[in-house]
Amino acid sequence: MNLIIDVGNTVIKLAVFKNNDLLHRELVEVLQLENRISSIKAEYPKIKRAIISSVAKLSDEDFLKIKNNFNLLVLDPTVKLPFRNLYSTPKTLGVDRLALVCAAVSEFPSKNVLVIDAGTCITFDFVNSNNEYLGGAISPGIRMRYKALHNLTANLPLLETEMPDHFIGNSTKNAINSGVVYGVLNEIDGVIKAYKEEFSDLTVILTGGDSNFLSKQLKSSIFANSNFLLKGLNFILKYNSNE
């Protein structure tokens, strides 16, 4: 059994896999991490290995406790990966994006795959049918756009995420919702269209915290999978364990 630890910008995802089967998944705050890992270890005593992917800072104390309890693999650009990385600055490539590409290679071998992760940021990552990672794009996520409108202006309110009734906003609230939500939807649809024009038989995966909200509204054909990154991390752990 494998323990997967994904330290994101806002929350930490914990998951337990037995081979390729996801047995457990939960979201925790940083202050809950130690207790939740202890509980998971008690519930799944056969866990021997763990992988940690961190785009945010984890305390040295928390890191050492994880390392002392499991055979730990820390995901970084030096870890063995199942694809050819053509990114011109591989050391700056986020570990979350590495995991998403590994999931794409594992789930859709020899395919052109675009992975869209809609979370704090929206990332686009592309791996071609020759198993080559070419790169992608990074843009602000939904919540970041709402916060930017509020924090960088004098009078615009901070709103909760809401699907607008119409693309023409007839109030400040509706105009903000329209600008943010339709802006994101049109951006994603536009990026997918651009990739499809250049790469045939494109498979598109949508994942991340906002994937469920967005998937129902997108015009393009996609596969929504909220656990895609966790699957990628599990695959990397297995790949580096010679299984």
Rounded CA-CA distance 110/62 in Å is 39
Rounded CA-CA distance 204/24 in Å is 26
Strands ordered across the beta sheet of 112-118: 84-85, 132-140, 121-127, 112-118, 202-207, 223-224
Question: What does DSSP assign to residue 112?
Answer: E
**H or E, element range at 190:** helix 183-198
pTM for the model stands at 0.90
Rounded CA-CA distance 200/196 in Å is 6
- pLDDT, position 32: 86
Rounded CA-CA distance 143/120 in Å is 7
84-233 shares the fold of 2-74:
yes
pLDDT tens-place string over residues 166-202:
999 999 999 999 999 999 999 999 999 999 999 989 9
- pLDDT, position 176: 98
Q: Which residues are annotated as a binding site for ATP?
A: 6-13, 120
Q: What is the dihedral of CA 107, 75, 238, 1, to 10 degrees?
A: -110
Residues in the chain where the model's pLDDT stays below 50: none
- pLDDT, position 115: 98
- pLDDT, position 241: 87
**Structural class in CATH, domain 2-74:** alpha beta
Q: Distances in Å between the alpha carbon of 71 and those of 52, 78, 96, 132, 158?
A: 11, 17, 20, 30, 44
- pLDDT, position 206: 97
Pairing label, strands 84-85, 21-28: unpaired
Going by C-alpha positions, the residue among 209, 239, 240, 211 that lies closest to residue 224 is 211
Look at the chain and count its residues. Answer: 243
Q: Kindly list the catalytic residues.
A: 96
Token pair of 167 as six digits: 């693309």
- pLDDT, position 78: 87
- pLDDT, position 22: 96
Q: Where are the domains of the chain?
A: 2-74, 84-233
Cβ atoms of 118 and 208 within 8 Å: the answer is yes
List CB contacts of 19: < 8 A, sequence separation 6 or more.
none
Q: Which residues are annotated as a binding site?
A: 6-13, 87, 94-97, 117, 120, 172
Strands ordered across the beta sheet of 2-7: 21-28, 12-18, 2-7, 49-54, 71-74
- pLDDT, position 243: 54
Q: Which fold has domain 84-233?
A: Nucleotidyltransferase; domain 5 (3.30.420)
Cβ atoms of 4 and 27 within 8 Å: the answer is no
- pLDDT, position 65: 82
